[in-house]
Structure 1
Amino acid sequence: MARRFIPVLLIALLVIVHAQIWFGRGSVPRVASLKQQLATQELANRDAQLRNDQLVSEVSDLQEGLGMVEELARQELGMVKPNEIFVQIAKGKN
């Protein structure tokens, strides 16, 4: 009787372990799903970090003075300082 009981017990334990692997809290499909969610979240975090770094840089420039405003005025409005000469080079048609 005891000799029959041991294999049955081992098979039952194997079935339980297999069930946990495939259907339990730490199952293979759940782990794969969590890995996918983690990858998606890491990508979103990376994008948010890049945007935050850009905003920190802009805030720093604005706090340091009018350097950023002057740069934008030079680029977009063609601002020149006193005693500067504005030179525009036109590209010729080839």
Structure 2
Amino acid sequence: MPVFRIILIILLCLLQYRLWFGENSISEYFKLQSKVEGIKIENDNLLQRNKLITADIADLKLGKEAIEERARNELGLISPGEIFYRVIPKHQ
């Protein structure tokens, strides 16, 4: 009978060791959990960026004003009949 108890205690210790320090242990679980949280935050940021890009695309598809504004800002568009003024700061 005492041999059976000793075997059970040893078996319990081995299982506890595997639970705390072995493969797929609790510490590894917590490390993976923190990685998952980081990836969720990154995904939320990317989702927000994608929403902004989608709104920008929809605006470009629907409105001529958005295309014209972009052309003015990025390409220096001047429409016929407009006068272009360049303002140069004094300190240059």
Return closer, same or farther for 1:52/1:10 CA change in 2, 3 Å cut-off: same
1:29-68 deviations in whole A, cap 9, x for unaligned? Answer: 1011011101111000000000000000001111113132
TM score, norm. by length of structure 2: 0.67
Report SS of the residue matched to 1:12: helix
Equivalent position amino acid for 2:29 in 1:
V
Q: CA deviation at 1:26?
A: 2.5
Report SS of the residue matched to 1:52: helix
In the TM superposition, what are the counterparts of 1:10-29 in structure 2 within 5 Å? Answer: 10-29=8-27
Equivalent position amino acid for 1:23 in 2:
F
Equivalent position amino acid for 1:18 in 2:
Q
In the TM superposition, what are the counterparts of 1:52-91 in structure 2 within 5 Å? Answer: 52-69=50-67, 72=69
Structure 1 portions without partners, runs of 5+: 77-94
Aligned residue pair count:
71
CA distance in 2, matches of 1:53, 1:25: 40
CA distance in 2, matches of 1:25, 1:64: 56
Equivalent position amino acid for 2:64 in 1:
L
Alignment root-mean-square deviation, CA: 1.8
Map of 1:47 onto structure 2: 45
TM score, norm. by length of structure 1: 0.66
Which of 14, 25, 32 is the equivalent residue of 1:34?
A: 32
Q: Which runs of 4+ in 1 moved over 3 A?
A: none
